[in-house]
Amino acid sequence: MLGVKVPLTDAEQVKQYLRQHDLADTSYRSRRSEDAITFPIVRKFNSPWEFDVDFVEEEFEQHDHPEPLRESLRSHLSDGEMDNLITAFDIVGDIAIIEIPESLKRKELLIAEKLMYANKHVKTVLKKIGGHEGELRTQRMEWIAGEDTRETEVAENGIRLRVNVEEAYYSIRMATERKRVWMHVQPGEKVLCLFSGVGPYPITISRHTEASEIIGIELNSIAHQLAVENVALNRCTNVHLVQGDAHKVMRSLAADKQSFDRITMPLPHTAAEFLDDAVRVCKSGGTIHYYSFQAAGEFEKAVDAVRTACRRNGRQLDEFSLVKAGQHAPRVWRICVDAKVT
């Protein structure tokens, strides 16, 4: 049988991706070795990540658990309803987040119950209402079944995070990207994590590197409060979190003559507006990880934004590299410019 073999550290996001794209063969159990996991899949796919995936032929044990969601609904839905059914869903901790088309609204409870039956660790099923919106990038949800909560705990790259899936932005899909960033961090670095959300960047950097100090800045008070709890949960002693607008906080850091070896800017919609302030608090020779959504063939626009901000502030973009950090829409990528500023 066909499988995809990935290191354990990347397992969670690969699992999510397989689910979201109906690639997982859910009738079979995955196989785990000391440092890797092999998921049974229905067909090969192009890796959307920076790392290559390893397709293998292996024997898998059949699940003795209930039939997959789609099969379990077949006898309850008409052919037309089956066509509209979106069986891909996100799982965040023990919460499943599903999309229900308007045409299936009357059947949403049935779908949610079948989903919980087929995924025993799911305790809550929520329905997405729209995408990530507004300055805080939050997403509206509606409760359908199970415990009526928006809070859960997730594991990412060896850390634990309390999240609120409706009130604060968090995406497990960025876990590999965070790992890529922390692998650049050198001992003694002072790191500024803008837009720190519930704390995944500052906490993973704290746990996996010898950075001397990490400052996180987040506008959303609920996300900030969760990040404070997560710093304690992960026993990070070198993380300091500030709740407020990144412009204002960076200006006061600059006024205090504080500067940083590394700055992360994971707000791809509007990070450009914060580049001037970021350049001003970046040490000479420091690195800015600047995220932006760009169409295929237009990635240089993001580099130009950093270069122009450097010039405006009497600085220079010394070296840079461009990395794809996930697909946002057809032909549109979340890219990261790793910019060395002198």
Ligand X SMILES: C[S@@+](CC[C@H](N)C(=O)[O-])C[C@H]1O[C@@H](n2cnc3c(N)ncnc32)[C@H](O)[C@@H]1O
Contacts with ligand X by CB under 6 A lie at 135-137, 169-171, 174, 195-197, 200-201, 217-220, 223, 245-246, 266-267
Closest separation in Å from C-beta 54 to ligand X:
27
Q: What's the CA gap between 237 and 338, in Å, rounded?
A: 27
Q: What's the CA gap between 69 and 72, in Å, rounded?
A: 5
Nearer to ligand X, 198 or 317 (CB): 198
Closest separation in Å from C-beta 72 to ligand X:
33
C-beta separation of 267 from 132 below 8 A = no
Closest separation in Å from C-beta 12 to ligand X:
14
Nearer to ligand X, 6 or 174 (CB): 174
Mapping DSSP to helix (H, G, I), strand (E, B) and coil, where does residue 305 land? helix
Nearer to ligand X, 146 or 200 (CB): 200
Closest CA to 155 of 170, 136, 139, 138: 170
Q: Which residue is nearest to ligand X (CB)?
A: 197
Q: Extract the tokens encoding 319.
A: 């070296």
Q: Determine phi and psi for 118, rounding to 5 degrees.
A: -80, -15
Closest separation in Å from C-beta 65 to ligand X:
31
CA atoms within 13 A on the CB side of 315: 27
Closest separation in Å from C-beta 158 to ligand X:
16
Q: Which helix (H) or strand (E) holds 234?
A: none
Closest separation in Å from C-beta 328 to ligand X:
11
Nearer to ligand X, 217 or 341 (CB): 217
Q: Extract the tokens encoding 209.
A: 């590197």
Nearer to ligand X, 24 or 267 (CB): 267
Nearer to ligand X, 122 or 223 (CB): 223
DSSP lists the bridge partners of residue 98 as 89, 127
Nearer to ligand X, 107 or 128 (CB): 128
DSSP 3-state helix, strand, coil percentages of the chain (rounded to 5)? 30, 35, 35
Closest separation in Å from C-beta 238 to ligand X:
18
- Which residues 6+ apart lie within 8 Å of 144 measured at CB? 98, 100, 108, 109, 111, 112, 125, 126, 127
